[in-house]
Amino acid sequence: MNTAYLGLGSNLGDRSAHLHFALEALRPRRVSPFYETAPVGFLEQDAFLNCVCEIETALSPWALLRELHRLENLRERQRPFPNAPRTLDLDILLYSNTVIRS
């Protein structure tokens, strides 16, 4: 098993519900408190609600990323342009001791 730390964010719709949906699916070992941040890049959008969680996974980094994208799509995540508003944004922050350049 591998330990991964994920960043979760939402700034469209019921932000808290989107984060809770992801956390229920991910079944994390630990979760940070929720916190609000200003948008970066495209500034003409609402603030983000965020948290970080720690999970254990048997998935490879790329398989985990595919699963995170699947969860985003279940919440109707759209990608019209970089830094666009989003219902759910799931990012791999750390994955064991692996360095991935993408």
From the candidates 66, 77, 79, 101, give the one annotated as an active-site residue.
77
C-alpha dist (Å) from residue 89 to 1, 10, 24, 80: 24, 6, 15, 14
Q: Is 29 a catalytic residue?
A: no
Other C-beta atoms lying within 10 Å of the C-beta of residue 47: 11
Those residues with Cβ within 8 angstroms of residue 78's Cβ, 6 or more apart along the chain or in another chain: 84, 86, 87
From the candidates 15, 46, 89, 101, give the one annotated as an active-site residue.
89
Q: Is 89 a catalytic residue?
A: yes
Q: Is 86 a catalytic residue?
A: yes
From the candidates 66, 70, 86, 101, give the one annotated as an active-site residue.
86
Bridge partners of 94, per DSSP, are: 5
Q: Is 77 a catalytic residue?
A: yes
From the candidates 14, 29, 66, 91, give the one annotated as an active-site residue.
91
Residue in 32, 11, 30 with CA at minimum distance from that of residue 78? 11
Catalogue the active-site residues.
Answer: 77, 86, 89, 91
